Amino acid sequence: MFRYFENLVDPFRGTDAGAPPSTLTAYLRSQVRPYRRLLPWMGLTGFLKAAVEVGLIFYAGRLVDLMTASGPEMFWAQHRVELMVVTLLVLFVRPAIIGLNHLFLDQTLGSNIQEQVRWQSHRHLLGQAPGFFQSDFSGRLTNRVMQMGKAVEESFYSGFEAIWFSLVYVASAIFLLSDIDWRLGLPLAVWVVVYILYVRRMVVRIADASEGWSDARSNVTGRVVDAYSNIETVKLFANGSREAAYALSAMRRLRLRAQRFRRLMTELGLGMNTLNGIMIVAVLGPAVWLWTAGVVSLGQVAAVSALTIRLNGMTGWIMFVATRLFENAGIIREGLRSVSQPHTVTDTAAARPIEVRQGEIRIEDLRHRYGRDEGGLAGVDLTIPAGQRVGLVGRSGAGKSTLVNLLLRFRDPEGGRILIDGQPVGAVTQDSLREKIGVVTQDPSLMNRSIRANLMYGNDHATEETMIAAARRAQAHDFILQLKDAKGRRGYDAHVGERGVTLSGGQRQRIAIARVILKDAPILILDEATSALDSEVEAAVMDVLDEAMRDRTVIAIAHRLSTIAHMDRIVVLDQGRVAEDGTHDALLRHGGLYAGFWTRQSGGFLQTDDPGEPTG
C-alpha cells in the first residue's frame, strides 16, 4: 500500500525544460504540477478530516444533553443505536479518512517533492557554463539546492496539513456556532478576520527576515566549505586565524539576522496570546450568558467551551506553521537567485550531434574580450588540418585559454566562429562536441571516487582490460596497485579524496592522462599536461602522449617550450592575435617572439614579460 502511494508520482521524470521560474508563485506552481490530478483528493480528505474533528466536539456537547435529558436508567435504552453508529464512525471511518489523508500527504507528496526540487535544481545547475561556478561558492550553491528541497516540501505539506485543515475547521466551527445562535458565530467570525490581518502583517516581515537569514546562512556555508576545500593552502600559508576571522565575520552577520528573525517570532507570539484571550472571552462569554437566558443548552455550552479551548491551542500551531511558510518562502526566493538563472550556453533547437571524420579545426575571425576593451581574442584566423599537432604559445593573457574555452564551447564567442570538419561548434550539441575532444589540464581534478570510477569517467563502456592498459600506457598502473585509502580499499578500488587530494600532483596527472587515453577522442588538447611530472616520468609520459597524439588533431599549450618543440607547427598568440606561425626551427630562424621566448627560458619555462597582464 505504501509503495503504491509513493509511486503515484515519479520525482525524477522528465527532461530539462529550461530555467525554472524566477518568481516564488510561478516556481511553486511549476513544482506542484506533477501532483495536480491528486490535489483534489488531498483537499477532500483534508476537508473530511477537519469536519470530523469539529463534528466530534459538537457531538460531545450533544452527548451531555442526551445524558442530562435521559438519566442513567434510560440513556442506553433510548440512544443505543445512535451510540453504536457513532462508535463505528469513530473506530473505523475516522481513522480511514485520517489514514488516507496521510498517505497522500506523507507518501505521495512528502516523500517525492523534496527530492524532485533537488533533482531539478541540480540538473539545471549542471547545465551551467564553468564561469557560473567560478563566480560563486560551491558550498553556497549546494546549500541553496538542499534547503530549497526541504522548504518546498514543508510549504506544500503545511499548506494541506495545517492551513487547509485550519480553514475548514474554523469555517465549520463558525457555521455550527451560528446554527446554535448567531451571537456565538459572529464574534468568532470577527476574530478570524482580525487574526488573519495580524498574521499577514507579521509574516510578511518574517519572510523578509527569513530571506536575509537564509542568505547569511548560505554565505557561512560557502566560506566554511571554501576553507575546507583548500585546507592545504590554508596550512601552507599559516592562515588558519585569517580563515577563522573570515568565517567569523559571516557568522556574526548570520547571528544578527537570526536575532532579527527571532525578535519578530517573539512579537508574533505575544500578539497571538493577546488575540487568543480576546477570542475566549468573546465566544465563551456570550455562550454562558445565552445559557443563563435559557437560549442554549448546557451541552451546547460545553461544546462551545471545548471548541474555544481547541481553537486556542490551534492558533499557536497555525502561527508556527504560517511563520514556517513565510520563512520557507524566504529560503526559496534566496535559492532562486541561483537556481532560476538561465544557461548562458545552450544548444539550438536544430542542434545535432557532431560528426568528426577527420578532425580539421578552422577558426574564422574569432573575437572574445569578455565584454572588456582588452584581453581575450581580437580576431584570430587559424586552420589546423586533420591530424596536425600544434603547439600554442604566448604570454599570460595572450588568449590561449580563451581559444580553448571557445573551442570546448564553455563560452560562446562575441564574434567569429569555430568549425570542426566544416560544422560550426555552435550548431552542434555540447555533449557530442566534448565527447570528441580529450583534454588534459595543468591541474587535473579527480572525483572523490575510486580510481576505477575516475578512469572510466573517460569511457564508461571500456572493459577492465582496456582500462588497465590505458593506466599502463600512462605509467600509472604500478603506483595504483600500491594505493590504499582510509577504509582499506586498495588498488583500483581505492578512493582518492576530494579533487584527488590523497594523490601527488604527478599521480593525479598520470590518472588524467590515462583517462583521456581511454576516452580515445579524435581531437586532443594538452594544457601543460606534463607540468606536474618529474623529468624521468615526464620523459616516459611524453612517449605515451606522442603515441596518443598519433592520427589525432592536437592543440598543446605549454610554457615549457621543450615539450612542444617537436610539434608539427607552433602558433604564437600575442594580444589576442596570431603573431607567428611555423615550425620550431623556422620560428627560431625568424628571430621574433618565439625565438625570444626560447632564448629567455630558464629551467625550460617561458618567462612572462608582463606579469600584470590578465590571464586568458
User: Which 3-state string (H, E, C) describes 406-469?
Assistant: HHCCCCCCCEEEEEECCEEHHHECHHHHHHCEEEECCCCCCCCCEHHHHHHCCCCCCCHHHHHH
d(CA 313, CA 94): 21
Q: List all residues 6 or more positions away from 454 whose beta carbon is below 8 Å from its beta carbon.
A: 446, 447, 496, 500, 511, 515
User: Thinking of the domain 2-339, which architecture would CATH place it in?
Assistant: Up-down Bundle (1.20)
pLDDT for position 532: 61
d(CA 495, CA 201): 53
Neighbours of 272 (CB within 10 A): 20
Asked if 218 contacts 144 with a C-beta cutoff of 8 angstroms, the reply is yes
Q: What is the pTM of this model?
A: 0.74
Provide the pairing of β-strand 523-527 with 553-557. Answer: parallel
d(CA 219, CA 141): 10
Quickly list DSSP for 131-159: HHHHTS-HHHHHHHHHHHHHHHHHHHHHI
φ, ψ at 296 (rounded to 5°):
-125, 160
pLDDT for position 615: 40
pLDDT for position 466: 93
Quickly list DSSP for 512-552: HHHHHHHHT-SEEEEESTTTTS-HHHHHHHHHHHHHHHTTS
* Sequence letter at residue 355: E
CA angle 166-110-30, nearest 5°? 90
pLDDT for position 565: 87
CA angle 485-475-509, nearest 5°? 65
Whole-number average pLDDT of the chain: 85
CA angle 297-299-301, nearest 5°? 75
* Sequence letter at residue 144: R
Residue 48, all three cell numbers: 473530511
Q: List all residues 6 or more positions away from 9 whose beta carbon is below 8 Å from its beta carbon.
A: 34, 35, 38, 108, 112, 116
Q: Is 402 helix (H, G, I), strand (E, B) or coil?
A: helix
Q: Domain locations in the chain? A: 2-339, 361-436+526-533+553-616
Dump pLDDT digits (tens) for 309-323: 888 877 777 777 877
Nearest to 532 by CA among 474, 477, 572, 480: 474
d(CA 324, CA 347): 39
Whose cell is 507579521? That residue is 202
Stretches in the chain below the pLDDT threshold 50: 602-605, 607-616
Q: List all residues 6 or more positions away from 595 whose beta carbon is below 8 Å from its beta carbon.
A: 587, 588, 589
Residue 320, all three cell numbers: 508556527
pLDDT for position 235: 78
d(CA 433, CA 523): 10
For the chain, how big is the Rg over CA atoms in Å?
35
Asked if 377 contacts 403 with a C-beta cutoff of 8 angstroms, the reply is yes
d(CA 514, CA 499): 16
Q: For the domain 361-436+526-533+553-616, what is the CATH superfamily, name and number? A: P-loop containing nucleotide triphosphate hydrolases (3.40.50.300)
pLDDT for position 603: 42
Quickly list DSSP for 160-210: IIIIIHHHHHHHHHHHHHHHH-HHHHHHHHHHHHHHHHHHHHHHHHHHHHH
